[in-house]
Chains A and B, each alone.
Chain A
Amino acid sequence: MADMPIGERRHLAPPAVETGALGWTRKHLFSSWGNGITTVVLIGAIGWVLWWFLDWAVFTANFSATAGSECRGQGACWALIRDKFRLIFFGTYPYEQQWRPLFAMAAMLAMLVLSADRRMWNWRLAVIWGVGSFITFLLMFGQIHIPFTLLALVSLAVGAGGLALRKGIAQPQELNGYRALAAVGAAWLALRIVGLLPAWSIPIAPFDYVETSLWGGLPVTMILATYGLAFAFPYGVLLALGRRSNLPLIKSLCVGFIELIRGVPLISLLIMASVMLPLFLPSGVTIDKFLRAQVAVILFAGAYIAEIIRGGLQSLPKGQFEAADALGLNYVQKTSFIILPQALRVVIPPLINTFIGFFKDTSLVLIIGIFDFLGAANQALVDPAWAGYPGEVYLFAAFVYFCFCYSMSRYSKYLEVELNKGTRR
């Protein structure tokens, strides 16, 4: 055949044993003797485990019992989940009000899913989070009192931030606007601190108030993880910038804090928040347990986020810093327009992995007596009528955690590919 001109050669199909299902099986399962034996043994083992599991979880399982005693001698007692799923998902939240945490969870999920879309990574993100958080907490608390002091604080922050960011870039009118905002905010705060202004607030109270000690289940896990990370993020950025700073005192403060937090387990911080924080505050002032745990999570997450962001900062070539300096940008402008956008872009996938880690780690708050999702699952086991079926409850909880974490890790993998499209060859 080799002496024939190329155009006239007959095209032979590849041998049947090398393509299609047969070829694939040969190549991936039976490429050698050892490989074949491994495959056979594994198929046997998987079949045995799967049969045993299906028998337990489906064929002999009880879906309709009304008490644990009816499940004796049978497979999985899924009726327990049917009976207790509202306790597992919403904890001790008032029973007839449980539609509220359900919708709060929906709002948070919508907020998270929308933030996952890259087209939203601009001013829209602030709107999404503002509206989403407002709905979530309004539903969870039932009543929110927005103090004027908070509005003044926001006005001061927006004004000062705008001044620092837009100096030398914006028109004078815009800068005057920022100055006015900052001045109004500062004046209000000053008058409030002096005591001339009363503590006015805007009450929004459509529902009954539900205090945080009654919160429980999945909403608590989601709130602790989401807001833990949301607040830890700016704080971690500051710590990372501080650690890379040339100023020796700032640098040593940040290094000391980061290493201290990363060196101790989260439990010790949670125990500290639950027994030591009350000692730190002046007598009479109390912070509720939920907020204390949230503060501990924020402090803890901040140190880990700082280290990730530092990695992003270190990956930037020196030229970027020098070019920003050469353009005459000040530190705030250089950092927020040149350095952080590039540094953060690199670290988004590891940041999502950190979020997954914290989503799991929030389960530790049950040790200081907050009923998060796992804590509520533990509560479901306490009922003597259903005693003796821990496996079902924990497998169910594991499945829910898995759905959340697995989808986030897929998203992080997708982003990693997506964000590197420009640099990939």
Chain B
Amino acid sequence: MAVGTLGAAPRPRVAPWNDPVVRGWAFQIVVVGLVGLLAWYLVTNTMTNLERQKIASGYHYLGREAGFEIGDSMIPYSPADTYARAILVGLINTLKVSILGIIMATILGTMIGVGRLSNNWLLAKICEWYVEAFRNVPLLLWLFLFYKLISEAFPGPRQAIGLFWHSVYLSNRGVYFPVPMGDPVYKWMGLAFLVGIAGAIALHRWARRRQDTTGQPFPSVSAGFGVALGLPILVWLLGGAPHHMSWPELKGFNFDGGSVIQPEFTALLAGLVLYTSAFVAEIVRSGILALHKGQSEAAMALGLSKGQAMRLVLLPQALRVIVPPMTSQYLNITKNSSLAIAIGYPDLVASINVTINQTGQAIENILIIMAAYLSVSLSISAFMNWYNKRIALRER
């Protein structure tokens, strides 16, 4: 090789098979070609198999009558409805249990995680053993245990356990509890609640602007809660304070009136929340431990109260550590809710599974599952990424 052309350094002339760029492209083309070949092989096999087994393809079956019962539905559904509606019912049930699970696991997990750091040795130990017990046993086992306990240990409706002066009943058919009778005022209360939330947000913005310009603080959090909760109560009082409740009552072999939470739903939600809260607790604990001691000391030295130090100094920093792993726990709850199929709660996977068995169209149905979970997962991670960016350290 010629030495001496130091300054200009022209691109060395090499044979094409030694050129890294050419090699890179050749390698990529080979790999993509192999993947494509594999895909083509699978697709042709599938086509011939489908033809041989006379399985229809396409999504026409979605418009046909489903013909199966769904035990728990938030929207009106009957077996005469279409497959599309049955799948939608399943999706809504998945979302319902996921959202409730996320909220409850966050609250419980935070409490356990903070409890593990308590001064009280006993409390810290109990929280530690809670975490170890729930984390080291499969979720599916918890689900089975809770479900079997509810359906076998609880008495039938006729001997149901009455709680709170016989307003709530526990039985192996579910938990029965009273609900307010339908009244037009409730609709207005919901509206008032939404208006209240908007008002609280506006109040918070105004308070922050005022503090930025004048330095005057304003208790916007408690005021905001007051507005959001007070408005609906005001509407309720103005609407004549309707208080007729529908009480669960034993009629024949089952309860009538009130509302019921299915045992499958209770077991699923309890399992998801208890299992995930153990992981959330560890995340919260490590987030708090990651903070340097100097942060709380500095906050105290500035004269902030304990609550202010927590809210303004410690929490924002701990959240930066907590949010990314928390996102993956939220995704886990959503994905783990698919275990519902094992205890018979009609979630998305359960609906689809029945559909596969009835129509034989596995590929289309599995594509629906994947698309549904992917879009839910991607929306949760998009939201959490947005939140993460908002609380991230702004480096100047």
Contacts and interface: CB of A to CB of B under 8 A. Distances in A.
A378 interface: yes
Contact of A268 (B132, B133, B349, B378): B349
Contacts of B50: 279
A264 B46 contact: no
Interface in B121-157: 121-123, 126, 132-133, 135-141, 144-145, 148-149, 152-153
Q: How large is the interface on B (under 10, 10 to 19, 20 to 34, 35 or more residues)?
A: 35 or more
Given A35-B120, A247-B27, A264 B374 contact: yes
Contact of B31 (A32, A249, A283, A381): A249
Interface string B47-66: 01110100000000000000
A28 B118 CA distance: 9
A282 B45 contact: yes
Contacts of A35: 119-120
A356 B139 CA distance: 12
B93 to A, nearest CB: 15
Contact of B373 (A32, A263, A278): A263
Interface in A114-138: none
Interface in A249-271: 249-250, 253, 260, 262-268, 271
Given A249-B31, A276-B362, A402-B136, 10 more contacts: A31-B119, A42-B126, A260-B370, A260-B374, A265-B338, A275-B366, A279-B46, A283-B49, A363-B141, A405-B135
A397 B369 CA distance: 31
A264 B123 contact: no
A333 interface: no
A223 B341 CA distance: 24
Interface stretch (A11-19, A181-189, A206-214, A388-396): A388-396
Given A253-B32, A283-B48, A272 B366 contact: yes
A375 B371 CA distance: 29
B179 interface: no
B356 interface: yes
A29 B138 contact: no
B362 A264 contact: no
Interface residues of A, number: 56
Contact of B136 (A248, A366, A367, A405): A405
B335 interface: yes
Contacts of A42: 120, 122-123, 126
A361 B332 CA distance: 12
B152 A39 contact: no
Nearest to A40: B122
B144 A390 contact: yes
B370 A249 contact: no
Given A250-B28, A363-B138, A397-B141, A29 B122 contact: yes
Interface in B364-391: 366, 369-370, 373-374, 377-378
Contacts of B338: 265, 267-268
Nearest to A261: B370
Interface of B: 24-25, 27-29, 31-32, 35, 42, 45-46, 48-50, 52, 119-123, 126, 132-133, 135-141, 144-145, 148-149, 152-153, 335-336, 338-339, 341-342, 349, 353, 356, 362-363, 366, 369-370, 373-374, 377-378
B341 A402 contact: no
Contact of A402 (B122, B137, B356): B137
A265 B46 contact: no
Nearest to A389: B152
A342 interface: no
A281 interface: yes
A275 B356 contact: yes
Contacts of B349: 265, 267-268, 271
Contacts of A170: none
Nearest to B340: A267
A279 to B, nearest CB: 5
A281 B45 contact: yes
Contacts of B356: 271, 275
A28 B45 contact: no
A360 B137 contact: yes
Contacts of A33: none
B46 to A, nearest CB: 5
A356 B121 CA distance: 28
Interface string A379-422: 00100000010110011011001100110010000000000000
Contacts of A279: 45-46, 49-50, 362-363
A282 B47 CA distance: 10
Given A253-B32, A391-B148, A401 B52 contact: no
A228 to B, nearest CB: 15
B292 to A, nearest CB: 15
Given A267-B338, A268-B338, A283-B48, A275 B122 contact: no
A221 to B, nearest CB: 9
Contacts of B336: 265
B138 A401 contact: yes
The 6 closest A-B pairs by CB, nearest first: A390-B148, A405-B136, A28-B121, A360-B138, A265-B335, A265-B338
Contact of A253 (B31, B48, B366, B369): B31
A43 B32 CA distance: 64
Contact of B28 (A29, A247, A388): A247
29 contacts: A29-B120, A29-B121, A31-B119, A46-B126, A248-B28, A249-B29, A260-B374, A262-B377, A263-B370, A263-B377, A264-B369, A264-B370, A265-B336, A268-B370, A271-B356, A271-B366, A279-B45, A279-B362, A280-B45, A283-B48, A356-B136, A364-B140, A374-B141, A381-B148, A388-B152, A391-B145, A391-B153, A401-B137, A402-B137
Contacts of B42: 280
Contacts of B46: 279-280
A246 interface: yes
Given A38-B123, A260-B374, A409 B136 contact: yes
B32 to A, nearest CB: 5
